[in-house]
Amino acid sequence: MKKTIIIFLAAVMVCLTGVLAFSDVKRSNTTADQPTEIGRFVLFQGNYVVVSEGQHWNQLGVFKIDTITGKTWKYASGMSDGKLYDKWCLISDLNDPLGIR
């Protein structure tokens, strides 16, 4: 009888240890630990038109869309004041004078 109880308690301890170890591994792989969700942002290439002083230029650009908020960025790189830059620039409604978006 004592031997059966000891075996039963040992089996319970092994099961509990396995459950606790598995839940710890599962908890460390949650999306809360990741800065962004997989597939949230989409990158694409597209043409756009720059209009300045009656001139039109077709440009090729790289864009990033946040599929949850709808915010859109354009990748920009170049030189300003003698310094190189490369960054994502948020496209806001202020840059949409025609109200197309």
**What average pLDDT does the segment 27-32 reach?**
51
Task: Tell whether the model's pLDDT for residue 10 goes beyond 70.
Answer: no
Q: What is the pTM of this model?
A: 0.51
Chain length of the chain: 101
Residues 6+ apart with CB under 8 A from 63: 43, 44, 45, 46, 72, 73, 74, 75
pLDDT at 12: 42
Beta strands in the chain (DSSP E): 41-52, 55-66, 72-80, 83-91
In the chain, what are the domain boundaries? 2-33, 41-93
pLDDT at 9: 45
